[in-house]
Structure 1
Amino acid sequence: MTNEGKDNIINILPYFAGVILAFLIALYIRTIPKASVFLSNGFVRFGGNDPWYHLRNVESIVNNFPNMLWFDAYTQYPNGTDQVFAPLFDLVLGTIIWILGGGNPSQDLIYTVSAYYPAFLGALVVVPTYFAAKWLFNRETGILASLLIAISSGQFLSRSILGFNDHHIAETLLSTITAMFLIMAIRKANDSGIFFDDLKGSRFENLKPALPYLVLSGIALGAYSLAWKGALFFSFIIGVYIAIQHVMDHLNGRSTDYLAISGMVIFAVALIIVLLTPHLGGTKALHIKGLLAGIVAFPVLTGMSIAMSRKKFNKYYYPGLAAVLFVGGIIISKQVSPSAYSLVTSVFSYFMRTGGGLTIAEASPLLSMGGQFSLAPFWGNFTTLGYISLLAIIFLGYEAFKKNTSPERTFLLVWTFMIIWAMLQQNRFAYYYSVNAAILSAYVGIKFMELAGWKGLLEDIRSKNKFDIKNIKIWPVVSVLVIILVFMYPSYNMSMQQSQYTGGPNGYWIEATMWLNSNTPDPGLDYYESYEVPAKGESYQYPDTAYGVMSWWDYGHWIEVIGHRIPNANPFQQGVGGRRNSIEEENRPGASTFFTAQSEEEATAVLEAVHPDPDKAGARYIVSDVEMATGKFYAMAAWTLDTNDYYIPVQTDMGTQTVPGPRYFNSMESRLHIFDARGLEQYRMVYESPVGNSAEIGYKNIYNALFEGDLALENTGYVKIFEYVEGAQIVGEAPDGEDVVISTTIMTNIGRTFVYSQSAVSDGTYSFTVPYSTQGPIEGETQFDTMPIGAYKITYGSFVEEVDVSERDVLDGNVIEI
């Protein structure tokens, strides 16, 4: 090896070591909360909601390798659903697990690898961040950027923490890889001078330096498109950049051929990958149209530039003409091609949410807490790097405006502004901006260190090939301390706090869904089956034994994956019902309409309407938790677009306060969770989890104070499961006008007791429909131990009679005559 080669290796080694260090730091931070993921009882708790459905996909892939679960009959009963996620994230993970398990991986291997997968991908982001920053600025900026992204907090960390097995971190990784290759591709293409005339003459020499990076950028964009169904977003960013760069180059008298050629190659490669993929979460056609639009638009922009330059039109006409063509194209497409028009409008409206959609935590605006403007989320996601990156944007923007800045730095600015635009509308895109913040802050940090004298010091060390501490002066030391204390420590401190815990189902929900798994009838579907996709326009044919489990959409994946039961609603916001745009719309049946229903009869009508068969109900079980009964209730109402009067103002010693009102306490959610389904005819509690701290006592206290109630001021089960049954009909005779009461004491599975009762005024006869069996469960049906501790008592005047009711009477709706 030559001395020059040795010198190159020696120069590269510190940077290589820096990237490895950044990777290890990132991986360490992400694996800190092992104890809250791998529980002592052997349960692996994945975070959030969607990671559970990715686990569902991976289990299906492993059991049916290499087939993807393109249709899932085990959610959104009674419809099922086409695969919502783009396939790449799960297919890669499933393949890794299948290989590691020798074609027959154990459940432990599936869960363990799936839990570590996002942490590994999150740590890998340091690599493209390093190269993107290096190719934009220099190696030093690359190293600092890789260290800053490694310790970044907020959504970037939460989406890549151990156990958060979701595609979001793959979005960040693949979009950053796309940007990394695009930066070098644009640089090479610009420097080489690529022209359409050269390609027409089969002269490809100038294309060769850029071509590998263009192809790699296209492959990365294609892979990104297969990892997220909304990935047209980054294609849009590239398209906006190429359009802006066209304008800048035309105004500066430069050729724009390299931009059109580069864009066409990148989009063509991505298009081929998309075309080869069977499904993309329902957005394949949108991706094809979007990529084709770019392939057509880029040479049109260049053709306009060439034509205007040849005819010596005023160069400032170009941006105006481009804007006119864009707007004109939208207007024409609306008339002649509705699909093309919907493509454009969908890009601009993708991030907009209204009504119930605003209650989705990740879809709310970034600078908002409780509906009020707040900078706290900005600090929580980026700490000081958020503000430092804004300074970098100002400086680089000024440079771009005043100087002939490089095309790749223009891309950085466009990339950054587009991410900010998306992030301000949906806070989830903060995990994208963490990369931009790291690169931009590293740029500022290295500039600051250079001003402090580090550049000259390093050059002196390289020239002398040795380090002498006597050459170190105070300002370089101060600059290092500033980088550590201002740039690094706030992020690291925030990340260490954040990494102490993970999300996901709490112990109450884990126990409740496992109870569902063990104590309710098998729905008659193989959980691991590769279901046949229904023909277009037809619905999936469920067996007669199938049934739904009604709960709020947040919990659908837990019910499916842990409980192995079929939820009516899920975190894809399927089965929610309600309205979307106007209060004038029909209030569609679903979870929101069921839980906000103002009577048992109204709620039951919703259940009946959910199923297309008039003889079947959409759900057999209803699962509620105390969050649904308190904090989340407003979200249920929001999905119906009718939120009035659930909460009312009340004058107290502390001033006017808003508290639950009659409409809230009449809701089905309140009747079930707050009142334990007391007095309901066809709904019975069959399980409650242990008690958890909540706002439940406060709600009961309000009811007692305002409505003369007598509810016990106690917290009850955090999660409760109810069963919808036909109900046994008890009929008898009593003197006309007598107040007849039927009652029994219910003891729940945790030993809590409450009185179930109904009353009626006799007209010579009386009739009660009751949901509880006094004789316990029967084989093949719900195995409950929440039940009456004795017979029903019927009383009026001095008359008392006890009645036993069998489980078969309850399930079949039999009539019991007294």
Structure 2
Amino acid sequence: MAHVDLGKYRPYIIIGFIVLFTLLAFWTRGIPSEGLVTADGVNLLENDAWYNLRQVEQTVANFPGYAWFDAMTLYPTGDVIYWGPLFIEILSTLCVLTGAATRPEIMVVASWVPPLMGAAMVPVTYLLGKKIADWKTGLIAAGLIAVISGNYAFRSLFGFVDHHIAETLFSTIFVLAYVTALLVTRDHPFSLKDRGTLTVESLKAPVLASTLAGVGYLLGYFNMPTMILFALIVTAFTLIQFLLDYFQDRSSDYLVLVNVVTFGVVIIGTVAFGFPHPGFDLSRYTVGHVIASAALIAGTLALYGLATYLRGRPKYYFPAALAGIAVVVVAALSIALPDVYNLLIASLFAFFGEQPVTTTVLEARAWSFDMAWAAFNWGLLLMAGGIAFLLWWSREKVNPAHVFILVWTLIILASTMAHVRYEYYLAVNVALLSAVFAGAVLNIGWKDVTRFAGTATSAAHASPAAAEKREEPPRKGKKGGKAPEARKPKASSKDQPDYLKAGAFIAVVVVTLLFAGCSLQANIALANNARYGGVDSQWMEALEWMGANTPNPGVDYTAILDQNTFTYPEDAYGVMSWWDYGHWITLIAKRIPNNNPFQHGVAGPNGSARYFVATDEETANKILDNIGTRYVVTDIQLDTGKFHAPATWADPDVGRSPFEPQFFVPTSTAATSYQAVPFYSQEYYLTMVSRLHNFDGSMADPTLQVIYAEYRDAGTANASLPVITRTEQMNATAAAAAVEAYNRNAPAGSHATLLNMYYQYRGDSILHPVERVPALQHYRLVHESPQNVYGTTGASGPDLKAVKIFEYVPGAHIKGNGIIEAPVVTNTGRAFTYRQESVNGTFIVPYATSGWSGEVKTTGPYRIVGTGQTFDVTEEDILQGRTIN
């Protein structure tokens, strides 16, 4: 049989596999298109995708103009755009080239870009794997990055129109270019002390490679200013590599050239790009990035000078001198240049820290082991093996490319552990280092596996007849001599497989395939589930209604505006909701939210957090007056599952505990064991979100029995939570009296209170306060979504809608005492009675009984209960704040 030289066809085989992996990556990421594409466009995934689409619409309308300021969010100031234009410009260019001009067309074109970038990661990762090891490692890395799951896969799906996958792609291109520059410079030795070696020929390739590394960095920088993280990686690598070179008596001239050229290009590109933002903040496009790059170059030169000066002295001089200089520099910066200190030092510690409010932002939370295993499963073990192999290869002669990969991995791993959002960066490290491990084991054990397979195959094919030697007559020797014995062939040790290496090879292949298979399965499941993602139908219905039925705020939706000269029209207004929904309000309703998913407008005295957990209407109203709000939108999630978020933002020290307190409750009458149980307190029912969403702004009385509870403080009970010692279900009035009586003479550290059982919205305890909840005087329901969150209809159970829109109005004044009420029917046909108790002899009512053309209407006049007095209130009375009688 003719021998086929596979080596001759290797380039074609490699290209074939890369194409196959690229198509696989693109196919899995395109799966959500089957469910997300509608007649109206694409139901985009996650919140930020909607804002990116808004930017694409704006850029297409003003192509290639890019807006650094947006008046259609964060009323009444507008918001500054702090990320770069590259991703948006790529999307907009494709829209222009394909002729996509309408929103549905723009949505479809933009939605395919993340899958394309995810597919582009395959050849980039192959090249990186090949650079640091060989073509086999590159192919394995390409295959793994094609199927790897977790945040990386999710953020490159069809419909996830956000710059995250672009961050990963461009940062990986930079790593590839920087590693290439290190290797090229290593292969073209020169000396900064010997001018004879500094020829055009010797420097051409290193300078060109370093220039491309600078361009690679700029691509990432033009996409997101968080590319500064990779300058930090280069800084850490440079310090470590200088130390290694010094201890092994090697020159670090190559590092000087690579860093000076790379970040010299970065400085030029950064200055040419400009500084849209003031100050020195590295999370925005400020002059701080030039300072950071210049500091990196200066630090490299300083390290080179110090290493040169100390060459030949005891080895410990260099690290000791570095430590001393670092202390002096940090101290000097903190005293003499505090702005630069905050820029370079303090922001570093802040980056890896975590504040209580970050727990309310999913992508800012710390990374847990469960999250890590769900994303990368067996790849975590393979990555550890890859790290071990890079360290092993460096035991005799350090390869700077390997050191850079290790530093890159460790810093990205630390970043991910601090903030889970960096998991989509870490995916590249996991795939690459898994491939390094698998490729190394493959190289070590391949011959032994083939020998083992060859031995097994020979044994399997050998027949008994062939195995049995035929007896041959002995040959005659010399006369009188002895016939020679038959020669027994000796087995060569080189032909025997090393079973340990073969076993290790098989084990690693199995684990690698297991990693790839589990990841691909998870990836496909993730993509299939994403088909049902996007904006909830109830929110879509509510915001489409808002866009069609509320006043236009008077701001040109697609115009690029100058922050320094823009002023809002007199009739402009804001929409208050939780920050999760801000971009939906901007794009779907074309109205201006008071806060947004950049977490702007959330904190502070006028933030949405303080508003939604305010228990006093006057305090809440002042917030809306200060920020020009006209409409408030609530939903069941903010009312229940997300309630912890505004509570935490409003007061990180106490969070939700005043509203949803937890107690240790005995699990049995013997009280030998306890479990932590959450409850609703009256404070929860008094919050603005509860009064609006649960009670439509109407007065609410306790209609069920409540829980009378006696408890001991955590400190008194020597526990982490208060401990309930007695509970009893009682009539609300009797329970309130019992609480008052107990607390008058309560033992030290003991108290009584009223509670209600804690349930998510599938339980209706959120509708039953433990004490009376006063009516809101300045809020009227104008629209609600059709879905009842309890799934019941008619009189068979409670009827609470998923999304509600309220208008904030001055309200009409009616003189009188007691309780006033008016029947109301909503746009969904739900009927309720608006009730309010007088305050100082006055009612302030928000609903008009005549002259109102909205969907939510009163079906009769206001009536003071028990008096027979009725009142007609016009829409003009409501808006002018008139007194009726």
Bin for the TM-score computed over the shorter chain: 0.7 to 0.9
Once the two structures are superposed, the pairs formed by residues 754-773 of structure 1 within 5 Å of their partners are 754-760=832-838, 766-773=841-848
Which residue matches 1:720?
804
Match of 1:405 in 2: 398
Q: Quick one: distance in 1 between partners of 2:305 and 2:787?
A: 70
Query: Is the partner of 2:202 in helix, strand or coil?
Result: coil
CA distance in 2, matches of 1:565, 1:334: 44
- Deviation track 1:686-718 (CA, whole Å, cap 9, x = no partner) reads 111122547x99xxxxxxxxxxxxx99625111
CA shift, 1:481, in A, is 6.1
Contact 2:192 2:198 in 1 (8 A): no
* Cα displacement (A) at 1:653: 6.9
**SS class of match (2:884):** strand
Partner of 2:539: 509
Q: Which residue of 2 aligns with 1:807?
A: 875
The 3-state SS of whatever aligns with 2:273 is coil
Aligned to 1:553: 579
Q: Contact 2:438–2:509 at 8 Å: present in 1 too?
A: no
- Supply the distance in 1 between the matched residues of 2:88 and 2:300 (Cα, whole angstroms): 33
2:645 is the alignment partner of 1:647 = no
1:483 CA displacement = 5.3
Q: CA deviation at 1:484?
A: 6.0
Alpha-carbon distance between aligned partners in 2 of 1:227 and 1:432, rounded to the nearest angstrom: 14
Q: 1:418 is aligned with what amino acid?
A: I
* Counterpart residue identity of residue 827, structure 2: N
Q: Which residue of 2 aligns with 1:729?
A: 813
| Residue 173 (structure 1) aligned with residue 257 (structure 2) | no
Equivalent position amino acid for 1:339 in 2: D
- Equivalent residue for 1:488, pick from 507, 516, 532: 516
Task: Report the CA distance shift for 1:786/1:194 in structure 2 as closer, same or farther (over 3 A).
Answer: farther
| Structure 1 equivalent of residue 45 of structure 2 | 47
Relative distance call for 1:202 and 1:443 in structure 2 (3 A) is closer
Structure 1 counterpart SS, 2:870: strand
How big is the shift at 1:324? 2.3
Q: Using structure 2 for the length normalisation, give the TM-score.
A: 0.80
Q: Which residue pairs with 1:288 in the alignment?
A: 290
Please give the residue correspondences for 1:664-743 in structure 2 after superposition, counting only pairs within 5 Å: 664-678=684-698, 679-691=775-787, 693=789, 714-731=798-815, 740-743=818-821
Report if aligned partners of 1:625, 1:718 keep a CA contact under 8 Å in 2.
yes
Query: Which AA in structure 1 matches 2:599?
Result: Q
Q: Which moved more, 1:435-444 or 1:29-38?
A: 29-38
The corresponding residue for 1:661 is: 681
Q: Which residue of 2 aligns with 1:520?
A: 550
Deviation at 1:350, TM superposition (A): 2.1
Q: Is the 8 A contact 1:37 1:44 kept in 2?
A: yes
- Of 417, 425, 438, which aligns to 2:418? 425
Cα distance in 2 for partners of 1:199, 1:238 equals: 27
SS of 1:453's partner is: helix
Deviations along 1:315-347, one digit per CA (max 9) or x if unpaired, are 222122223222321111112222221112213
Q: Distance in 2 between matches of 1:484 and 1:386?
A: 11
Name the SS for the 1:815 alignment partner. Answer: coil
| Residue 765 of structure 2: aligned partner | none
8 A contact 2:662–2:677 mirrored in 1: yes
Superposed counterparts of 1:296-307, under 5 Å: 296-307=298-309
For structure 1, the residue ranges without an aligned partner over 5 or more in a row are: 1-5, 368-374, 462-468, 579-587, 611-617, 698-710, 733-738, 779-783
Q: Deviations over 1:378-403 (max 9, x none)?
A: 11211211222123223423443x32
**Which ranges in structure 2 are unaligned for 5 or more consecutive residues?**
278-283, 455-460, 463-494, 669-674, 699-774
Give the CA deviation at 1:809. Answer: 1.5
Q: Report the alpha carbon displacement of residue 791 of structure 1 after superposing the two structures with TM.
A: 2.1
2:606/2:623 contact within 8 Å kept:
yes
- One-letter identity of the residue aligned with 2:648: A
**Residue range with higher mean Cα deviation, 442-451 or 160-169:** 442-451
Cα distance 1:14–1:237, how it changes in 2: closer, same or farther (>3 A)?
A: same
Q: Is residue 230–residue 283 contact of structure 1 (8 Å, CA) maintained in 2?
A: no
In 1, Cα distance between equivalents of 2:133 and 2:157: 30
Alignment partner, residue 622 of structure 1: 632
Q: Where does residue 64 of structure 1 map in the other structure?
A: 62
CA distance in 2, matches of 1:353, 1:512: 35
3-state SS, counterpart of residue 818 of structure 2 = strand
The 2-side partners of 1:620 and 1:176 are apart by 46
The alpha carbon displacement at 1:645 in A equals 1.5
Q: 1:140 aligns with which of 132, 136, 141?
A: 136
Q: Which moved more, 1:808-817 or 1:441-450?
A: 441-450
Q: Distance in 2 between matches of 1:508 and 1:652?
A: 40
Q: 2:622 aligns with which of 589, 605, 608?
A: 605
State the Cα distance separating 1:479 from its structure 2 match: 6.3
Matched, 1:226 2:222: yes
Instruction: Check the 8 A contact 1:774/1:788 in 2, yes or no.
Output: yes
Distance in 2 separating the partners of 1:195 and 1:7: 42
Aligned to 1:705: none
Cα deviations by residue, 1:267-319 (Å, 9 ceiling, x for unpaired): 1112222112134663322211111111111111111111111xx21122212
Identity over aligned residues, as a percent?
33
| Counterpart secondary structure, 1:521 | coil
| Counterpart residue number, 1:157 | 153
Q: How does 1:379-458 map to 2 (within 5 A)?
A: 379-400=373-394, 402-453=395-446
SS in 2 for 1:721: strand
1:325-340 to structure 2, matched below 5 A, reads: 325-340=325-340
Alpha-carbon separation, structure 2, partners of 1:219 and 1:455: 44
2:186 matched to 1:185? no
* Distance in structure 2 (CA, Å) of the matches to 1:202 and 1:141: 35
Is the CA contact (8 Å cut-off) linking 1:74 and 1:80 kept in structure 2?
yes
The answer to whether the Cα contact below 8 Å between 1:37 and 1:163 also exists between their aligned partners in 2 is yes
Higher mean alpha-carbon deviation, 752-761 vs 53-62, is at 752-761
Q: In 2 relative to 1, CA 656–128 (structure 1 residues): closer, same or farther, beyond 3 Å? A: closer
Name the aligned partner's letter for residue 331 of structure 2.
I
- Provide the rounded CA distance (Å) in 2 between the counterparts of 1:380 and 1:692: 34
Residue 516 of structure 1: CA displacement? 1.1
> Would the alpha carbon gap of residues 353 and 454 (structure 1) be closer, same or farther in structure 2, given more than 3 Å must change?
same
- Inter-partner Cα distance in structure 2 for 1:740 and 1:59: 54
Q: Quick one: which amino acid aligns to residue 77 of structure 1? A: Y
Task: Give the alignment's Cα RMSD to 1 decimal.
Answer: 2.7
2:731 corresponds to:
none
Secondary structure of the corresponding residue to residue 542 of structure 2: helix
Q: Measure how far apart 1:183 and its partner are.
A: 1.3
Cα distance, 1:487 vs structure 2: 2.7
CA deviation string 1:750-772 (max 9, x = no partner): 1212111112388xxx4211111
Q: Which SS does the other structure have where 2:424 is aligned?
A: helix
Q: Secondary structure at the match of 1:754?
A: strand
The two structures have a TM-score, normalised by structure 1, of 0.86
Larger Rg: 2
Listed one character per residue, the Cα deviations across residues 370-427 of structure 1 (whole Å, up to 9, x for unaligned) are xxxxx21011211211222123223423443x32231111111111001011011001
Secondary structure of 2:865's counterpart equals: strand
Asked if 2 retains the 8 angstrom alpha-carbon contact of 1:776 and 1:787, the reply is no
Letter in 1 for 2:341: Y
Query: What is the CA–CA distance in structure 2 between the aligned matches of 1:568 and 1:81, rounded to whole Å?
Result: 10
- Cα separation, 2, equivalents of 1:105 and 1:478: 54
Distance, in Å, in 2 between the alignment partners of 1:199 and 1:815 is 92
CA distance in 2 between partners of 1:334 and 1:199 (Å): 40
SS in 2 for 1:744: strand
Equivalent AA in structure 1 for residue 527 of structure 2: S
- 1:341-356 equivalences under 5 Å are 341-344=341-344, 345-356=346-357
Measured in 1, the distance between the counterparts of 2:43 and 2:8 equals 44
Letter in 2 for 1:15: I
Q: 1:656 to 1:172 in 2, by over 3 A?
A: closer
Q: Does the Cα contact within 8 Å between 1:687 and 1:748 map onto a contact in 2?
A: yes
